[in-house]
Amino acid sequence: MTNGRETGLRLSATGQLALREEPVITRLMTAALERPELLSLAAGFTDNARLPAAAVERAVAALRVSDPGKSYLQYGRNAGDPALREALAGHMRTFPGETLPGIDPGDIVVTNGSQQLLYMTVQLFCDPGDCVWVQAPSYFVFLELLRGLGVRAVSMPVTPDGTVDAEGCRRQLQQWRLEGGTGRPRLAYLMGAFANPSTRSLAAEEKTALAEVFRSEAPELPVVEDMAYRELYFGAAPAIPSMLSMEAWRDHPVLYAGTLTKPFATGLKIGYGVTRSTVWREGLERIKGHQDFGSSQFAQALP
Amino acid identity of residue 278, one-letter, is T
**Rg (Cα) of the chain, in Å, rounded?**
20
Residues 128-187 contacting ligand PLP, CB under 6 A: 139
Please identify which residue in 191, 240, 255, 284 interacts with ligand PLP, judged by CB under 6 A. 191
Nearest approach, Cβ of 152 to ligand PLP (angstroms)?
19
**What's the min distance (Å) between Cβ of 281 and ligand PLP?**
18
Exposed/middle/buried for 220, CB within 10 Å: 0-12, 13-18, 19+?
A: exposed
Q: Is 291 in the site for ligand PLP (CB under 6 A)?
A: no
Instruction: Give whichever of 139 and 249 is closer to ligand PLP, judged by the CB atom.
Output: 139
CB-nearer residue toward ligand PLP: 106 or 267? 267
C-beta separation of 259 from 288 below 8 A: no
Question: E-assigned strands of the chain?
Answer: 108-112, 131-134, 152-155, 187-191, 223-226, 254-259, 270-275
Give the x-and-dash track for 103-122 against ligand PLP (CB under 6 A): ----------xxx-------
Q: How far, in Å, CA of 138 to CA of 247, rounded?
A: 26
Residues 35, 274: Cα–Cα separation, whole Å: 36
From candidates 259, 275, 296, 300, binder to ligand PLP by CB under 6 A: 259
Least separation in angstroms between residue 116's CB and ligand PLP is 7
Dist. CA 73–CA 55, nearest whole Å: 19
User: If binding is defined by CB under 6 A, does position 226 make contact with ligand PLP?
Assistant: yes
Give me the residues that bind ligand PLP (CB under 6 A), please: 44, 113-115, 139, 191, 196, 226, 228, 259, 261, 266, 269, 271
